[in-house]
């Protein structure tokens, strides 16, 4: 048994119960919410170490939940599949249960929740959300708003590979209809600023999948 508390925000009862069963079996404390508004209410009134969030929620979708959540918390979020058919979602979870649990363990092992509401620290990168500033090894990095938002999403989800679709939805919005390569373009912008003068690269490309920032 451990003290890590996880909130599942998922409207499909079968999916939610399966997730809860797997996580409780692993020793986690689990709470559930069946829609985005209820999920945000729980997040405002209790402390959680991790959120498992479905994108296709009634009333308030997962992207909007993330946006509102970031106004008061930097709790890590793992996005669940966006497929809308319950059998597909459950089958997908069943097939990828080990991967999902591995991602949960990454967040909860070794007490790695050292960030605060206003500050994210990963390796030598420090992001201060109150001052809207970023430093690498003490050197301030000037970023545009979109560059900042993209880096924030990668830092919050450190050690988790995020697809281009997830990054577009999280940074540009669910309704974005612009260029498909916008993520790749902004990743290049970030790399040119973050890696200048440093041997170690901040952002790793996972070919055919997406991008990740690896950290301890």
Helix, strand, coil percentages in the chain from 3-state DSSP, rounded to 5: 40, 20, 40
What pLDDT, on a 0 to 100 scale, did the predictor assign at position 190? 96
Closest CA to 4 of 38, 52, 41, 53: 52
Tens digits of per-residue pLDDT, 63-86?
888 888 888 887 878 877 544 444
Tens digits of per-residue pLDDT, 112-144?
444 445 778 888 898 888 888 999 888 899 999
Tens digits of per-residue pLDDT, 180-205?
799 999 999 999 999 988 888 999 99
Say which DSSP state 158 is in: T
Model confidence pTM above 0.85:
no
Is 44:68 a contact under the CB 8 Å cutoff?
Answer: no
Classified as helix, coil or strand, 162 is strand
């Amino acid at each position: 048994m451990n003290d890590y508390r996880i909130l599942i925000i998922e409207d499909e009862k079968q999916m939610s119960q399966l997730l809860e069963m797997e996580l409780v079996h692993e020793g986690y404390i689990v709470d559930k919410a069946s829609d985005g508004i209820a999920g945000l209410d729980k997040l405002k009134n209790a402390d959680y170490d991790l959120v498992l969030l479905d994108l296709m929620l009634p009333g308030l979708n997962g992207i909007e939940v993330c946006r509102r959540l970031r106004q008061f918390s930097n709790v890590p979020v793992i996005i669940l599949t966006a497929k809308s058919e319950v059998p597909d979602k459950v089958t997908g979870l069943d097939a990828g249960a080990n991967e999902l649990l591995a991602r949960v363990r990454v967040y909860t092992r070794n007490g790695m929740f050292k960030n605060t509401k206003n500050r994210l620290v990963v390796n030598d990168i420090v992001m201060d959300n109150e001052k809207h500033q970023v430093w690498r090894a003490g050197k301030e990095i000037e970023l545009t708003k979109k560059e900042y938002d993209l880096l924030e999403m990668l830092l919050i989800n450190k050690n988790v590979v995020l697809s281009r679709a997830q990054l577009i939805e999280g940074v540009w919005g669910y309704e974005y209809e612009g260029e498909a390569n916008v993520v790749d373009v902004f990743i290049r912008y970030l790399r040119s600023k973050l890696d200048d003068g440093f041997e170690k690269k901040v952002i790793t490309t996972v070919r055919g999948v997406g991008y990740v920032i690896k950290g301890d």
